[in-house]
Structure 1
């Protein structure tokens, strides 16, 4: 007689599942996590340290903290993994800071109780007002963080070196522009030593230190940031940097080779464009606006074949605009306005017209010293939506080929020396909704086929109106 028990597989697995839940009664339902009591208490302590004029934390009561506004728990373990308490009115900044924006923000202090949330991976306190309190050192002890956003929070002092302990951190935003009752206040945060960045070298992909004063680290800043081998976006807008380190080389290192977005605008480099930039061959967006760049644009830009946006505006770059920029296959937005270019535009526009991959959408060359006529090749820019050549010294007629620019929305040519008749081919551009021709020597009327929501179309020094625009048009103020 066979006395061995005959368990069916289905019975055996059912028994294991039943036993598992007997041993883990606190996990709760996978779709309805229950707050862990110690983490709930940590959140309440954190709440008590804050001021909340708009009632953003009004839901922070009851036993289940996983249902509180801005709190997310892991569906399996119930641990708090995310706190998102960004100011809900942050899109109003800074224009309505004294109104709804300021009313919607939290204030007070950031309590160290957050360090008791051992599984917290996401913390966003952006656009709240902590009234220039020192940036908390203890945040560097929340080593589970992957995302940290303290931008626009009126925090001050030295960026804690303890942030280097956040070895899992993927995104760090400390953008420090802020507003006080006296108006714009900047440089409340500073970092005199960037050595702590090395602790983030294998994880960080996004870093924003805009308005963080880095002048104390200016001698080594390129080397410090080059340690971040995973970095894809680096924003150093208005960070008091004053050296571009022309002799630095990235060619022998894999660091920064993944960088796609670089913003160095509003610093004081007083330098030519450095060659190490051209080793960053994955760059898609490059902003070096208003940094006292001088000399010419190097041919090294031909190596940046993935570049989509290039802003070198408001510098003292000179000579001619090189044809190499016209051959960049993915370039969509090019801003070279407010520089010292003194040349004709033919070679650059001819390069654009010959580039079969040309995808340029916006071209701003305003406020330079460019001269000569516009070539007929202008009409080949069929993807261009915005063209601004204002405040230069262009002469001759506007080429009739402009009517072939089928995507053009804005044509701004004021303050030049264009002459001759206004091209009637402009009427062929059905997308055109802004046309400014003032302060030239043009004659005639605008094409009757053009229709605008705003009839502010200037030619010569006066507004010229043609049907179907109103018969009576306001004079230029």
Structure 2
């Protein structure tokens, strides 16, 4: 059996403590590029300098590998701190990132390409091989503010870019991030379709795309998100029938899809036609058919009333106007005589 001296163990602890404050060079460069591209009037990013990026504001690293695992610059609205600028693609070089929270700022431009480089967000098990320092995290997910302790942080993977000014389409490679538990891109200006393969993000518990300009149909693959507990697609330009099946059956709150006038199917009252497209009957075919039938009845009633009224007008005029009566019957006799003569001519 091997024994290690107390001095050797102390040396290992000192080395680990030293490495915990350092960070990987290319990850530090990526963070500095992000800093250079944003307007930081609050000066909170003043600590972003030097070699030890693990001590920078909003940054946390893995204690064993010194890789950046959390970037949290959320504006909590408790003080006027916000960041204005773009999210550089180089930020995706933070391969071990588990938490990316830039919510409630004034970030603009498109979502960075290369999101599939977030390999720890892609892997559902990778976080089990590292650990954080003894701290907690306040996270907004499922519409609630939740606090995760150091143990919970081992498994927590989240991307929250909500309440910014981001534009463009949602990158297709985002569906590779199968380890994410929370994805929030709400309250931006995103356009285009929801990625067809979004059902590949099987770990998602909370998905929020509300208040954007997304269009097209909701992919059927979303029914494969068995862990989904919170969903919000409201106030977009989505259309077509709402997918059904599995976990979606439990998400039956109509407000999930409100503000999309061309969506149809349960849990909305708007029904879909045979082609699965929006139907204006609002799920009330029998009522509308009855209304149409009532309209036809009124139409026929007015026609009959007009005929009777016209007949009575002529009748009473002839009844009380003697000269008109004589003229009318004389005209009828003349027409009758002429018809009679025309009928007899061939026989003569």
TM-score, scaled to structure 1: 0.37
Higher helix share: 2
Q: Which has the higher contact order (CA 8 A, sep 6+)?
A: 2
TM-score, scaled to structure 2: 0.49
